[in-house]
Chain A
């Protein structure tokens, strides 16, 4: 009958009909993967996550290191997705420089969504519900959990290294803010280019680092504590001798960060074009081959 003809005919033509779109999809996917392949340079991105820190390091050897996650679970995911290729769901090392919410909140969300191989944190005694949530997740996911101590070194291959400069083996006690001062300070070096990530440390920890003659000299400095006036002392700045600085700060934040005195100190030393701010420049990406340094920023229209 008519019925039989109607049902059989399309069935025969289905494979042929669907082959073309299927092949098309696969080839688009392959192209998308190829186009998002990482290059052979080192990328350090200061992510625009509002009032907080979040830094992503992507090495030529394909490793992803995330230092802090900022205060906003949504923003960190969006920013990470912009920088990581769509097929990459792995963070090789997650660092929480200190346990406060503006560093760790985003990390909770990242831990839920990405395969995190290892975490590093100062391990200072501190209670907050978000920090405990993060610790519990690490336990649940059975992620390797290390405590940062000055003197450790992390080898990322291709002669790229991260040195841990702070906290000291004997944690700061009785300073103006122990949690801030015990923050994890890292120095990333590749050839002639180096980055110093100073977390939220205050002048006490800065002074200690200077007096220990730690090798602080760096090309790029992440200004400590969102440019607060309790950090980035002139002495520390002259020992580090950066060519470029980055202030990771949210627009119109309630803390009054960054402090205008600190900003002026930086501008008078480096020139206004070498002072980058995430509230003005958006996400700031540094690209280096170990010799030269390139900077990529987003232009931010006045969004609050």
Chain B
């Protein structure tokens, strides 16, 4: 348990670090509880934990990079909003294709001002037409005007990019390709594999099924039409398109459900199976940070499940969050991080409760008929997962995206049914398409069927009246109140469970 408290203190410290500035000497106050140890030796353990928590809190606070990086004539953003410049550099990330145009992450190495070449550093975003296509590792000579990212609507684009280390943007520069293949070899290989997998999906499937498969399987959302994206948001199913914690959580749960069906109670087999499936999946999705993060959380969840210790799962989750925030403080503000964290917490804390309730219900209805009961359990499990994740995430979604979906539960439930089939069949299409495009095309018919089913579900729920409510801006404190209330409810639930000595069905099974 102490690890949970320390992790939380650390994250809270980092959060405070962004809000206020205190002298660094304050960390010494973390030592204060240790001074009391000789006085209250009965409560030694509490004092030690309290001391470490304070240390973690102020450590986290100091860890937050509060001072902006030094800007001089060698940094790229020094030239923002001035004359056009000529820059040489490398495409340092996978191109981000968006319909008609494309974003390139461009790391500068040299800048040319009025014929004088200077060493330069810094990263700029290039907005370029979709074609000609560029690749990770291309060395470019770029001529254009560096601009400070301007906010659009009420979105603070500048700080959003700054958190990723990008301080400048160039719109439609003149580009000359000097060299290619200068990136990291494994990444180059991975990105080109991803591109080829995406191409084989695109070749085998019509639209929008093809881009939907690219989104669900590879996390490439670029080709998905806007209208379809909006339908997903309105029906509360947008998470199906983003490979986040929820997505991986659902994949795990489905593998587990099937594992139980096939291997019976040999827990270790299907836990290993799920772990392998997740990490195969992560490498397929291009090892992007959000996916890795979600997969680490998922793996921790699975390990906790393997050990049969629910409480340890939440500790591990907090610890994982603390480590990730420690490495990159800015992800604390990334919505996908918050959502995947909350969805995972919801799964750990609420899912067992809903699951046991659902099982009770299924058993009461179907009694002795074993196959039906196991089918019934699969259905209630899927419902339990969906409900747990929705309860944990809807206020944050409402706060950030100003939308509350009233059909999220049934829409997610019916979409969920097709998700394992979509992932399996489109993975087959993508892989086979690398070697035998014709075979992939035939396999594509199967994937097409499942994807069309998903599209149908989304469209049907989207056209229902009152499928979603637009909400006005919610004050942040209301969101905090909701989560505080939820935490209290979960605490009461756990307390009651403990006092009546009613173990959840899942841990009873593990014995």
**Residues of A near any B CB (own CB < 8 A):** 3, 6-7, 10-11, 13-14, 17, 25, 28-29, 32-33, 71-74, 77-78, 80-81, 84, 86-87, 89, 105, 108, 112-114, 129-130, 132-133
Chain A residues near B202 (CB-CB < 8 A): 112-113
Q: Are A89 and B262 in contact (CB under 8 A)?
A: no
Contact A73 B449 (CB under 8 A): no
- Inter-subunit contact B446/A29 (CB<8 Å): yes
Tell whether A10 pairs with B261 under 8 Å between CB atoms, given A86-B448, A129-B129, A133-B131.
yes
Q: Are A25 and B207 in contact (CB under 8 A)?
A: no
Contacts of A112 in B (CB 8 A): 199, 202-203
Residue in A33, A72, A113 whose beta carbon sits within 8 Å of that of B100 in the complex: A72
- Contact across chains for A78 and B225 when beta carbons are under 8 A apart: yes
Expressed in whole angstroms, the Cα–Cα distance for A128 and B227 within the complex equals 31
Question: A104 — nearest CB in chain B belongs to which residue?
Answer: B131
Main SS at interface, chain A: helix
Query: Is B504 part of the binding interface, using a Cβ–Cβ cutoff of 8 Å?
Result: no
Contacts of A3 in B (CB 8 A): 264-266
Given A14-B262, A80-B206, A113-B202, output 11 extra A-B contacts at Cβ < 8 Å: A6-B265, A7-B263, A10-B261, A10-B262, A25-B446, A72-B99, A81-B206, A89-B204, A105-B131, A133-B131, A133-B133
Contact A130 B261 (CB under 8 A): no
Q: Kindly count the residue-residue contacts between A and B in the assembled complex, taking CB atoms under 8 Å apart.
A: 79
B132 at the interface (CB under 8 A from A): yes
Which residues of B have CB within 8 Å of A25?
446, 449
Q: What is the minimal beta-carbon distance from B259 to any residue of chain A, in angstroms?
A: 12
- B100 adjacent to A74 (CB under 8 Å): yes
Q: Which residues of B contact A129 (CB under 8 A)?
A: 129, 131-132
A78–B264 touching, CB < 8 Å:
no
Q: How far is the CB of A112 from chain B (nearest CB, A)?
A: 7
Question: What's the Cα separation between A53 and B181 when bound, in Å?
Answer: 37
CB nearest neighbor in A for B203: A113
With a cutoff of 8 Å between Cβ atoms, the chain B residues found around residue A13 in the complex are 371
Given contacts A73-B100, A89-B203, contact A29 B445 (CB under 8 A): yes
CB of A130 within 8 A of CB of B446, answer no
A107 smallest CB distance to B (angstroms): 11
Interface residue? B143 (CB, 8 A): no
B130 at the interface (CB under 8 A from A): yes
The reply to whether A77 and B129 contact each other, CB–CB distance below 8 Å, is no
Residues of B within 8 A of A7 (CB): 263-264, 266
- Beta-carbon contacts under 8 Å, B104-130 to A: 129-130
CA distance A10 to B205 in the complex (A): 35
Q: Please, what's the 1-or-0 string for B299-316, where 1 marks a CB less than 8 Å from any CB in chain A?
A: 000000000000000000
